[in-house]
C-alpha cells in the first residue's frame, strides 16, 4: 500500500457529496454520475451504509476516495445495504436488484443482526456461503477481487449498557470464526476490523451519535486498511 493512504486515513474526512440513487425500495445505493475505470460493489448492513454518519464518512466511500487520492481511477461505490439486515434479508435484496454488471472489487460485511436476533451459526454459514458465492460472481468469478470484512463488536458501545458484553463479544467471535473459515475456503481476502472496533470501549470518539454504530473516524480506520487491499487488487 502507498504511504499516502496510511498517512491520510486518520484525518481524511471527505467533502465531495455523491448523488444517492435508490435502485429499488429499501436499498441504498451510492453511485457517481461519472464512470471510473474501476468499479466497486459494497454489500452489507448498517456498518456498510454508515448508519448515523454522513454519506461521505461511510467506509466504502472513504476507501474509494483514498484510492482516488492515489491516482486510481475508481467510480464511487455502489452500495446495497440497510440497517438491520440479516444474511437472508441481504440475499433477498441482492436477488431483487437483479445485478447483471460485474465489478472490479466486491466487499461483503454481514452478520451482526444474525447474532443480535439469536440466529444460529449453522444457518449463518449456509446463507453467508450463498452470499459470498454471489459476491464472487459479481466480481466476474474472480475470488481474489472479493474482500470479506469481519463483524464489529457492538458489545463495547454505550447501547450495550446493561447487557452481557462478554457474551456479545464471544458470540461475535463465533460468527467471525465462521465467516473467516468460509472466506478461506473460497480464497477471498479477509479484513479483520473487529479488534479495531473494540477500541471504542475506551474511546468515545469512535462511536456515532446514536451510541450504537461507529463514527466516521472509526470507519476511516477500516477504509484505510480496505484501501490497501483494494489497491493491491486493482494494480495486479
* Sequence spans of domains, the chain: 21-234
Q: Which has the closest alpha carbon to 9: 200, 221, 206, 203?
A: 221
User: How far is the C-alpha of 57 from the C-alpha of 55, rounded, in Å?
Assistant: 5
Asked if CATH classification 3.40.50.1110 holds for the domain at 21-234, the reply, yes or no, is yes
Higher pLDDT, 1 or 91: 91
- How far CA 154 is from CA of 21, 65, 110, 208, in Å, comes to 29, 26, 13, 12
Q: Which has the closest alpha carbon to 226: 98, 127, 108?
A: 108
- In degrees and rounded to multiples of 5, residue 41 shows phi and psi of -115, 125
Q: Is the dihedral of CA 49, 23, 105, 146 positive or negative?
A: positive
**pLDDT digit string (tens) for 28-63?**
334 433 445 999 999 999 999 999 999 999 999 999
Please report the pLDDT score of residue 27 as a whole number: 30
pTM of the complete model: 0.86
- Residue pair 211/156 in contact by the 8 Å Cβ criterion: no
- Rounded to the nearest integer, the mean pLDDT of the chain is 88
Rounded to an integer, the average pLDDT of 69-96 is: 97
Please report the pLDDT score of residue 95 as a whole number: 96
End-to-end distance of the chain based on CA atoms, in angstroms?
A: 12
SS3 24: coil
User: How far is the C-alpha of 113 from the C-alpha of 85, rounded, in Å?
Assistant: 6
**pLDDT higher than 50, residue 12:** no
Please report the pLDDT score of residue 236 as a whole number: 85
CB atoms within 10 A of CB 34: 6
Q: Which has the closest alpha carbon to 72: 84, 63, 82, 81?
A: 63
**pLDDT digit string (tens) for 132-186?**
999 999 999 999 999 999 999 999 999 999 999 999 999 999 999 999 999 999 9
Amino acid at each position: 500500500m502507498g504511504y499516502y493512504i496510511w498517512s491520510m486515513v486518520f484525518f481524511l474526512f471527505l467533502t465531495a457529496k455523491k448523488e444517492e440513487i435508490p435502485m429499488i425500495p429499501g436499498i441504498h445505493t451510492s453511485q457517481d454520475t461519472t464512470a471510473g475505470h474501476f468499479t466497486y460493489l459494497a454489500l452489507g448492513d448498517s456498518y456498510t451504509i454508515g448508519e448515523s454518519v454522513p454519506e461521505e464518512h461511510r467506509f466504502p466511500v472513504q476507501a474509494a476516495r483514498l484510492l482516488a487520492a492515489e491516482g486510481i481511477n475508481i467510480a464511487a461505490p455502489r452500495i446495497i445495504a440497510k440497517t438491520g439486515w440479516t444474511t437472508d434479508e441481504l440475499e433477498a435484496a441482492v436477488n431483487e436488484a437483479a445485478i447483471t454488471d460485474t465489478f472490479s472489487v466486491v466487499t461483503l460485511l454481514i452478520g451482526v443482526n444474525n447474532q443480535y436476533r439469536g440466529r444460529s451459526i449453522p444457518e449463518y454459514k449456509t446463507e453467508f456461503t450463498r452470499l459470498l458465492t454471489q459476491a464472487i460472481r459479481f466480481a466476474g468469478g474472480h475470488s481474489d477481487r472479493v474482500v470479506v470484512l469481519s463483524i464489529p463488536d457492538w458489545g463495547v458501545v454505550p447501547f450495550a449498557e446493561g447487557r452481557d458484553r462478554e457474551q456479545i463479544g464471544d458470540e461475535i467471535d463465533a460468527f467471525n470464526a465462521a465467516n473467516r473459515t468460509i472466506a478461506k475456503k473460497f480464497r477471498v481476502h479477509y479484513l479483520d476490523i473487529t479488534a479495531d472496533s473494540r477500541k471504542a470501549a475506551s474511546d468515545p470518539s469512535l462511536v456515532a451519535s446514536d451510541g450504537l454504530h461507529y463514527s466516521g473516524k472509526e470507519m476511516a480506520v477500516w477504509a484505510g486498511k480496505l484501501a490497501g487491499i483494494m489497491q493491491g487488487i486493482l494494480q495486479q
